[in-house]
Amino acid sequence: MAAAAKVVTPVRADFEGIVREHQSMVFSIAYHFLHDRPAAEELSQDVFLQLYKSMGALESAEHVTRWLRRVTTNRCIDQCRRSKLMPRIGLDQVAEPAIPAGLPDIMLSRALSQLVASLPANWRALVILKYQEEMETEEIARALDMPVGTVKSQLSRALDFLREKASRMLRETV
Amino acid sequence: MSRLDDALRDALRREAPPEGFAERVMARIQAPQEAAGGWAKWLNAFRRPQLRWATALAAVALAVGTAEVRSEMQRRAEGERARDQVMLALRITGGKLQMTREMVRRIGYARREQ
């Protein structure tokens, strides 16, 4: 009886509210991953369609948020693997975007965004969830179904890579 | 907190989706439901309790009728097969009678000539 009551098709108005509440989070994860606004919108729409069909199994607002982060990230990783959006050149060969002197913060931000987009899909997911969503290592591990140790080590390697590239950029501009 | 952390937070801050995003999502959700609407209404009519019995009775009548027609066709086919066999037997018998009559006639002629 309780299980039957739990599986309720969401009322349209309620669901539209959920879309409006989470659209920025879902779209931003997809955009930072794919660096392509139309592709990010399409993927985000697909995620919300999947959410609509899965609403009966979700028990709370927090569950919906966790579900959206996990499904969006996994779809992004899958899309990268399918469409070969993975870096087409080796990490060592990624050129640092030039930063004109005088505008370090804005340009650094833009350059870092591009550097993140050049990371392998798994590293990219970890960096986006940590810095966009401000998630703790344990939360990321749960969301991506990965061991905490793996999350820590991969995040550390991704940040070392970004730090090295970013500091090289800054040295060159000072 | 390093400068890299701050720069990454800034670089990866949330962005607003394109204008009308939520409306487009809701339109995509609505679209398949409208497409399925005609069939869904038709099927829902059969879910009413009054129509359930009528549907069941119609299904039983259809099954009985189909079995009856099949049995009738089988009987008719067997009858036709039997009639063909009788006709064949009659043709064979008729041919043999003809031959016997001819033989009797020849024997009769031969005796008269003696």
Indicate which of A28, A69, A157 best probes the interface with B, i.e. most B CBs within 10 Å of its own CB.
A28
Picking from A162, A159, A30, A29, the residue whose alpha carbon sits closest to that of residue A97 is A162
Average pLDDT over residues A126-135: 95
Range of the domain at B26: 20-113
pLDDT at residue A2, as a whole number: 44
Residue whose C-alpha is closest to residue A15's, from A66, A52, A62, A54 = A52
pLDDT of residue B35: 58
Q: How far is A42 from chain B (nearest CA, A)?
A: 10
Look at residue B14 and tell me if it is in a domain.
no
Asked if B17 and A108 come within 8 Å (Cβ–Cβ), the reply is no
Task: Average the pLDDT over A102-128 and give the result.
Answer: 83
More confident residue, A33 or A90: A33
The verdict on residue B107 lying in a domain is: yes
Domain-located, residue B2: no
Closest chain B C-alpha to A147 CA, distance in angstroms: 23
Confidence of residue A164 (pLDDT cuts 50, 70, 90): confident
Average pLDDT estimate for A6-22? 75
For all residues of chain A together, what is the average pLDDT? Answer: 82
Which of A 52-91 lie inside 8 A of B, CB atoms? 52
Concatenated DSSP letters for A11-65? Answer: PHHHHHHHHHHHHHHHHHHHHHHH--HHHHHHHHHHHHHHHHHHGGG--SHHHHH
The answer to whether B29 contacts A12, with C-beta atoms less than 8 Å apart, is yes
Q: Which CATH architecture has domain A2-83?
A: Orthogonal Bundle (1.10)
Q: How far apart are CA A32 and CA A124, in angstroms?
A: 9
Note whether B14 contacts A: Cβ–Cβ < 8 A. Answer: yes
B47–A contact, CB cutoff 8 A: no
Q: State whether residue B34 sits within 8 Å of chain A by CB.
A: no
User: Which amino acid is present at A168?
Assistant: R
CA dist A92 and A171 (Å) reads 18
pLDDT above 90 (res A20): yes
* A100 token code pair: 């004109």
Lowest-confidence pick of A126-135, A159-168, B41-50: B41-50
Q: What is the pLDDT of residues B24-63, one digit of tens each?
A: 999 999 886 665 555 655 665 655 656 677 788 888 899 9
Q: Is A24 on the interface with B (CB under 8 A)?
A: yes
pLDDT of residue A45: 97
Nearest Cβ partner for B12 among A52, A108, A128: A128
**B1: in domain:** no
What is the total count of domains within chain B? 1
Amino acid symbol at A77: I
Separation between Cα atoms, residue A39 and residue A31, nearest integer Å: 8
Residue A159 in contact with partner chain B when CB distance is under 8 A: yes
B64-92 confidence digits (pLDDT tens)? 999 999 999 999 999 999 988 888 889 88
d(CA B22, CA B89): 85
Chain-chain contact of B25 with A110 (C-beta, under 8 angstroms): no
Q: DSSP code of A118?
A: T
Q: Could you report the per-residue pLDDT of A44-61, keeping only the tens digit for each?
A: 999 999 999 998 888 889
Where do the CATH 1.10.1740.10 domains begin and end in chain A? 2-83
Q: What is the pLDDT of residue A90?
A: 44
Q: Is the dihedral of CA B77, B80, B85, B86 positive or negative?
A: positive
pLDDT value, residue B95: 87
pLDDT at A7 over 50: no
Contacts of B31 in chain A (CB under 8 A): none
The pLDDT value given to residue A93: 45
Q: Which architecture does CATH list for A91-173? A: Orthogonal Bundle (1.10)
- Residue in chain A lying closest to B5 (CA): A131
pLDDT of residue B46: 59
- Which of A23, A110, A126 should one mutate to test binding to chain B, selecting the residue with the greatest count of B CBs within 10 A? A23
Q: What six digits make up the tokens of A9? A: 């098709």
In chain B, which residues have their Cβ closer than 8 Å to the Cβ of A132? 12-14
Residue B9 lies in a domain: no
Query: Would you say residue B92 lies in a domain?
Result: yes
Residue B11: pLDDT above 80? yes
The pair of three-digit structure tokens given for residue A75, joined into one six-digit string: 């779809």
The percent of residues above 70 in pLDDT, for chain A, comes to: 76
Over residues A72-85, mean pLDDT: 84
pLDDT at position A104 over 60: no
Q: What is the pLDDT of residue A68?
A: 96
The total number of residues shown for chain A amounts to 174
Domain with CATH 1.10.10.10 in chain A: 91-173
- Band (A128; pLDDT cuts 50, 70, 90): very high
Question: In this predicted structure, what is the pLDDT of residue A107?
Answer: 74
Q: What pLDDT is recorded for position A8?
A: 45
